[in-house]
Chain A
Amino acid sequence: MATINLAILLPFIAAILLFLFCRNIKKFHIGWIVLIVPAILFITLMRQLPQITKGNTIINSTSWIPSYDINFVTHLDGLSMIFGLLITGIGTLVIIYSIYYLATERLILQFYIYLLLFMGSMLGVVLSDNLIMLYVFWELTSISSFLLIAFWFQRKGSRYGAKKALHITVLGGFAMLVGFLMLYNVTGTFSVQEIIATIGQHKDHPLIPAIIILVLLGAFTKSAQFPFHIWLPDAMEAPTPISAYLHSATMVKAGIYIVARFTPVFGGEAIWFWAVSVVGLITLFWGSLTAIRQTDLKALLAYSTISQLGLIMTLFGVGSVSLHPNLNIETIIYSQAIFAALFHLINHSTFKGALFMVIGIIDFQVGTRDLRRLGGLIAVMPISFTIAMIGSFSMAGLPPFNGFLSKEMFFTAMLQLKDFDIMNIQAFAGMFPVIAWIASIFTFLYSMMIVFLTFFGPYNEQPDVKVEEPKLGMLVPPIILSLFVVGIFLFPNVLGDYLIKPAVASIYPNITDDLIGDIALWHGFNTELMMTIGIVIIGIILFIFREYVRKIFILFPRSLSFDTLYNNTIVKIDIFAKKITNFYMTGYLKHYFAYIFLFFSLVLGGALLYLDAFSFSLAGDQPVDIFMWIIAILIIVTGIVILFSKSRLTAIVLNGFIGFSIAMLFVLLRAPDLALTQLVIETVSTALFLLCFYFLPEWKPFVIEKRKKVIHIIISVSVGVVFTVIALSIKSGRLFESVATYFEKADELAGGQNIVNTILGDFRAFDTMLEVVVLFIAGIGVYTLIKYKKDKGADKVED
């Protein structure tokens, strides 16, 4: 277990320790303890940075389920490093912020456990090399996000938002899993690095387009791309630190990570380019357009996040073209698109994180985040104003902030598209810069709305609230982020050399450092700068006439939105599922037994017939002596008598008799372990029977229709026949190699002479483990079914 593997596990371990030992801490805020975890992880990753900058990668592997090629393999390269540092760095700041933001929260322990769960699984996503491991962590991020959105579960909106996010992201996750399995089928490995190395041989495989679509579905749902973006605005019901952390800086970038990670695999495929860049472009446009109509500051930021994610996605799509086999990797300038994408990804995390935190502060101090009620806060909250201004201006792409640099690079990449003469790109190349430019105008517009509508204009007095700057601890994290916003503008190449270039190198395996240019502050009066100036001028005009701009939204009726589609689908699926369930869940035990037995005899009997597994020979069997005959006949006779018993008690006693007789049979066959277990089980289950006896209705001699009786007889006879046939042919070894040789060597292999227990505890320990877990679940199930009946025990906490 090496450092990086432990780094993933640390948050999980910390969460368990937190739950066990920190439940009753009242003296200080529990967040101070949690803070240690991301801080340690951040330092650990920083210590690996020199290695990564040199172009090395760090691989650790531990076997997990080697027989299925599923291993705990971590792979730390430049790309993972960027994400790892964002997760841990912003995680640290968010936890400091949350200490003040959630100072009086009652369920604070749960909050931090969910947060640690998220942090660990997100690190797992970006560090895994094994696809199955990646998928497991991927779904864990969805689950922890669900828990965090629903943190204030008393609110209806929180529950709705949490469910919506879970539905959509897990849907994509499933699609991605299918894609991964197909990829395994094509390449024969789950390791991303091996897939990158060998994918060249499989370019013509017919499954590749399907794999691309399925993997992209996962990426698009997670990164809130059009039309799956609808979950992100509703996820804003989460506490603001969570919105800043999960829903702007890290989790929503997991989809972008997947796209970046798979660019060397699928880059150069036409379908990959078109899907990624067009979806990204539509998302960029739609997100920025919808952001303008918002009046809730957090919803505005949510749509702005959607739009910025679309921007990054588009850049990755454009950058993937340079992997086309017809292009010479030496001549590409388009790798700048990937560079710009990674650069903007970091910038977006800094300015959007700062903005979310400021809006949290406003909400916390003023008590509202409605644009219509805010205004004039500059007089009372000058520091917050400064942070908000830095963040917004950076988002709008203005100097001297880092957003300006990446926005310019974005325009460069869009304008260069027309130089491509492959995949019909030239035919549509004009569309990209135009849409990007229009979307940027909207971006400028809503960025200005954040600053000017909140901090300028008439001051709206809020009743009973004295508005002032919050505690210093709440201001420090956004201040640090906004220092980054300015710092990155002034020294962009520090970031570029140490972080982004290694990351670009891990996306383009053949590229060398000098092919990637440095970031320049001043390009001269080129088209990009003209576009920015145009954005500012038109943006200001639109800002002045914003009331008229909003009127265009009347053109979009609400009933035609994707939200409505989602709501209706959920309702329809619910009704449909209820119908199906009610069809077979009749509430009669006899029906359920019939299903189980029918399934058993059809599937097993069918398999026996289909595989021609039946073989029957008595040769070599142990002779059956007289005692066994007697017991066997007794069992059969008792079985028949049960059918005619007149009272339930008789039936139970006779059933017990059969059980004990079987135990006797085990003794005669020299299987003391089985006999012992059978005896004890029979005793305990008879006691259980007697307990349940109290609840059972009176035993009535009931009349069944003849037709049903025939069905019952057929089912029971078929089960008996199938069982007998299996028992008879089990010895033949026709379908499987006999595993008996293991058991003969039990003493030397497992160190035990009792082979029954070596099977249970060693050879088949996995089965035993799962059985134990199932037993536990069953026990808890019985307990809850009996204890928590309707209107009993459960508190009503939901609204």
Chain B
Amino acid sequence: MKINEVLLQSVTKIIVFIILTLAIYLFFSGHNNPGGGFVGGLVLASSFVLMLLAFDIETVKHGIPVDFKLVAALGAAIVVITGLGAVVFGEAFLTQTFRVFDIPVFGLIELSTVTIFELGVSLTVVGVVVTIILSISEDVS
């Protein structure tokens, strides 16, 4: 019996964008509100999981031609390098800093080095989750 996936596929096409928006929102809101790099990364990964469930691997790979192993490696590298960044400025390893900037139009915005650190966390989470799921499911086929 062939399962009709039209419904799931149509819904996925819309929902993925909502999830992606949510992921980016969670990522940036983490500083002062619930969210953060880890959750942001997981939500991002779950959108990929949804796509993989709705479509087959080839389609997803064609749409997103990214090697997720490299994404994970990049994330881990960012995390370590941000730590070393503090050493360059003579601070202890992994010291984070922040400063409030007054930017026209946007108003007061707080910029923080933690964001870069969290970006690394997110990328690693996305990379690892999708790598695991892809490698297991590719083995099935």
Contacts and interface: CB of A to CB of B under 8 A. Distances in A.
Interface of A: 1, 62-66, 72, 672-673, 676-677, 680-681, 683-684, 687-688, 691-692, 694-695, 750-754, 756-758, 760-762, 765-766, 768-769, 772-773, 775-776, 778-780, 782-783, 786-787
B132 A779 contact: yes
B99 to A, nearest CB: 8
Given A680-B46, A779-B131, A772 B39 contact: no
A688 B31 contact: no
B129 A761 contact: no
Interface of B: 26, 30-39, 42-43, 45-46, 49, 53, 69, 72-73, 75-76, 79-80, 83, 87-88, 90-94, 96, 98, 110, 112, 114, 117-118, 120-121, 124-125, 127-129, 131-133, 135-137, 139-140
Contact of A750 (B34, B38, B96, B135): B96
Contacts of B79: 768-769, 772-773
B86 to A, nearest CB: 10
Contacts of A752: 31-32, 98, 112, 114
Contacts of A680: 39, 42-43, 46
B32 A753 contact: yes
B8 to A, nearest CB: 14
8 contacts: A691-B133, A761-B96, A776-B124, A776-B127, A776-B128, A779-B128, A780-B131, A783-B135
Contacts of A673: 34-36, 39
B78 to A, nearest CB: 9
Q: Is chain A's binding surface mostly helix, strand, loop or mixed?
A: helix
Nearest to B124: A772
Contacts of B35: 673, 676, 754, 757
B132 A772 contact: no
Contact of B94 (A692, A756, A765, A780): A765
B83 A684 contact: no
Given A64-B87, A752-B114, A757-B36, A772 B75 contact: yes
B87 A694 contact: no
A766 B136 contact: no
B138 to A, nearest CB: 8
Q: Which of A1, A62, A765, A773 has the most CB of B within 10 A?
A: A765
A673 B38 CA distance: 10
A64 B132 CA distance: 35
Contacts of A64: 87, 92-93
B19 to A, nearest CB: 10
Nearest to B44: A680
Contact of A775 (B43, B69, B124): B124
B93 A65 contact: yes
A754 B133 contact: no
Contacts of A691: 133, 136-137, 140
A681 B93 CA distance: 30
Given A672-B34, A750-B96, A780-B69, A692 B42 contact: no
A665 B76 CA distance: 32
A681 B121 contact: no
Nearest 7 A/B pairs, CB to CB? A779-B128, A751-B98, A753-B32, A672-B34, A761-B114, A776-B76, A680-B42
Contacts of A684: 42, 45-46, 49, 129
Contacts of A753: 31-33
A779 B130 CA distance: 9
Contacts of B87: 62, 64, 72
A69 to B, nearest CB: 13
A595 B24 CA distance: 40
Given A65-B93, A680-B39, A760-B38, A750 B114 contact: yes
Q: Which of B33, B87, B98, B128 has the most CB of A within 10 A?
A: B128
Contact of A754 (B36, B45, B75, B110): B36
Contact of A757 (B30, B75, B127, B135): B30
Contacts, number: 154
Nearest to B123: A772
Contacts of A758: 114
Given A762-B114, A772-B124, A687 B133 contact: yes
Q: Is chain B's binding surface mostly helix, strand, loop or mixed?
A: helix
A787 B132 CA distance: 11
Nearest to A678: B39
A110 B72 CA distance: 23
Given A676-B39, A684-B45, A761-B37, A751 B110 contact: yes
A688 B136 CA distance: 9
Contacts of A778: 128
Nearest to A72: B87
Nearest to A672: B34
Given A64-B87, A753-B31, A692 B136 contact: yes
B91 to A, nearest CB: 8
B74 to A, nearest CB: 10
A444 B125 CA distance: 65
Given A775-B128, A778-B128, A754 B32 contact: yes
A634 to B, nearest CB: 24
B117 to A, nearest CB: 5
Nearest to A779: B128
B101 to A, nearest CB: 12
B25 to A, nearest CB: 12
Contacts of A1: 88, 90
A106 to B, nearest CB: 24
B46 A751 contact: no
B1 to A, nearest CB: 18
Contacts of A695: 140
Contacts of A63: 90-92
Contacts of A783: 69, 131-132, 135
Contacts of B132: 688, 779, 782-783
Contacts of B135: 782-783, 786-787
Contacts of B127: 776, 779
A776 B120 CA distance: 11
A772 B42 contact: no
A778 B94 CA distance: 23
B31 A776 contact: no
A676 B75 contact: no
B26 to A, nearest CB: 7
Contact of B75 (A756, A766, A776): A776
Contacts of A754: 30-36
A687 B91 CA distance: 43
Given A684-B49, A692-B136, A779-B132, A769 B94 contact: yes
B81 to A, nearest CB: 10
A762 B96 contact: yes
Nearest to A771: B121
B73 to A, nearest CB: 7
Q: Which of A694, A753, A775, A782 has the most CB of B within 10 A?
A: A775
B42 A765 contact: no
Contacts of A772: 75-76, 79, 120-121, 124
Nearest to B68: A779
Contacts of A683: 46, 49
A673 B88 CA distance: 33
Contacts of A692: 136
Nearest to B99: A751
A765 B88 CA distance: 17
B59 to A, nearest CB: 17
Contacts of B42: 677, 680-681, 684
B133 to A, nearest CB: 6
